[in-house]
Amino acid sequence: MPRRSPIGSEPRWEALYEAAAPRAGYFTTKQAKAAGYSPQLLQFYIRERRVERCARGIFRLVHFPPTDREDLVPIWLWSECVGVFSHETALAIHELSDLLPAQQHVTLPLAWSDRRLRVPKGVVLHHADLTKTEWAWFGPIPVTTPLRSVVDCIHAHVSKEFTDQAIAQGVRRRLFTRAEVRAGSHHRGKAA
């Protein structure tokens, strides 16, 4: 096993693990470099089956225990950790409806709307500047709140069957009230 990376710094497994642990074992090339791992050293660990490549510039520690919704972490890392899972994806995560989205929905800041991006397959982008009260952590990923998720789906014209089901489920679970949904939809409609 190489003791030094070609970039000259001593690779620190603990630093790499600390970067990957809150992200279900996933890390980026940039995080690996900060921990002293060059691309060549990462290739060595891929061959040794301690690390696996998941996407361009995104890797995972092989022996890290699996977590809920870890399949979404590479998408979040692709967004440079600024995206928030939203719309139908958030409804599914919050278990508010029977909707099983075929694509993953991510909301990026409005400033990203002008960027030319190579969007991962199966990802739908939305743009909005979310406040800190409109999203929360769900394990290793950020997700819009149940109320914001329902309002987003209403404005994205998701099937009324699923939005009605999500509203009923949210009200029943006391996540929000029907009045809050109406107010959020009205406010969002004026902003659009």
2 is a domain residue: no
- Rounded to a whole number of angstroms, the distance between the first and last alpha carbons of the chain is 56
Q: What is the pLDDT of residues 50-73, one digit of tens each?
A: 999 999 899 999 999 888 888 999
24 is a domain residue: yes
- Cα–Cα distances (Å) from 13 to 38, 51, 72, 81, 162, in that order, read 13, 12, 24, 22, 45
Mean pLDDT of the residues in the chain: 91
Strand order in the sheet with 135-138: 123-127, 104-108, 84-85, 141-144, 135-138
> How crowded is the C-beta side of 25, counted as CA atoms within 13 Å?
17
pTM higher than 0.75 for the full model?
A: yes
Q: Which residue is it, tokens 């997700």?
A: 143
84 is a domain residue: yes
3-state DSSP assignment of residue 105 = strand
At 190 the pLDDT is 57
Domain count, the chain: 2
Residues 22 and 112 in one domain: no
Task: Give residue 47's domain range.
Answer: 13-61
Which of 61, 78, 95 represents a domain boundary (last residue)? 61
Longest Cα separation, the chain: 61
- DSSP assignment string, 59-75: EEETTSPP-TTGGGHHH
Residues 79 and 98 in one domain: yes
Q: Does residue 7 surpass a pLDDT of 70?
A: no
21 is a domain residue: yes
CB within 8 Å of 75: residues ≥ 6 apart: 83, 85, 104, 106, 120, 123
Q: What is the pLDDT of residues 96-120, one digit of tens each?
A: 999 899 999 999 999 999 988 889 9
Q: Does residue 126 surpass a pLDDT of 90?
A: yes
Residues 121 and 141 in one domain: yes
